[in-house]
Amino acid sequence: MKNNSISLAGKTSVRDLIAIIRQTKIVIGPDTGTLHVANAVGVPVIMYTGWAIPEDTGPFDLSGRSKVIKANLECIPCKYVEPKPANWEYCKINRPTLCMDKIEVDEIIEAAKNILSNC
């Protein structure tokens, strides 16, 4: 980044958030409302996700500029969500963030560079 970042968490209304997002070139984050707002107003997004099925949660970017990044684990999307067998309990208790921990920062940076080079 060329400038220092600032946190606006809890300091904006939804209307302000939308106005700020419209001024951005890209939004990077997990499956959150802010990410979906960016997608809705046409700002490309990089959504990093854990156990969820990205096709169910989005982003739904018809322009194809957005990207979903997930860990390369054989259990993604989570095979243990329903019904919840012992494996799901094991993951929940012993490695609840494994899906997210396995995502490489370099992959997110590369995706952002690719998206921004096409803006």
Mean pLDDT of 20-46: 93
In a domain, residue 71? The reply is yes
Q: Position 18: which residue type?
A: I
Q: What is the pTM of this model?
A: 0.81
In the chain, the number of structural domains is 1
H-type alpha helices, 8-75: 14-22, 33-40, 54-57
**pLDDT for res 116:** 93
**Token duo for residue 67:** 């990207």
In a domain, residue 1? The reply is no
9-13, 22-26, 60-64, 93-97: range with lowest mean pLDDT? 93-97
**Position 84 pLDDT exceeds 70:** no
Which of 48, 40, 3, 49 is CA-nearest to residue 22?
40
In a domain, residue 62? The reply is yes
Q: Position 30: which residue type?
A: P
Q: Which domain holds residue 75?
A: 14-117
In a domain, residue 23? The reply is yes
Which of 52, 7, 16 is CA-nearest to residue 31?
52
Output the average pLDDT for the chain: 85
18-22, 43-47, 82-86, 97-101: range with lowest mean pLDDT? 82-86
Mean pLDDT of 36-56: 88
Instruction: Give SS3 for 107.
Output: helix
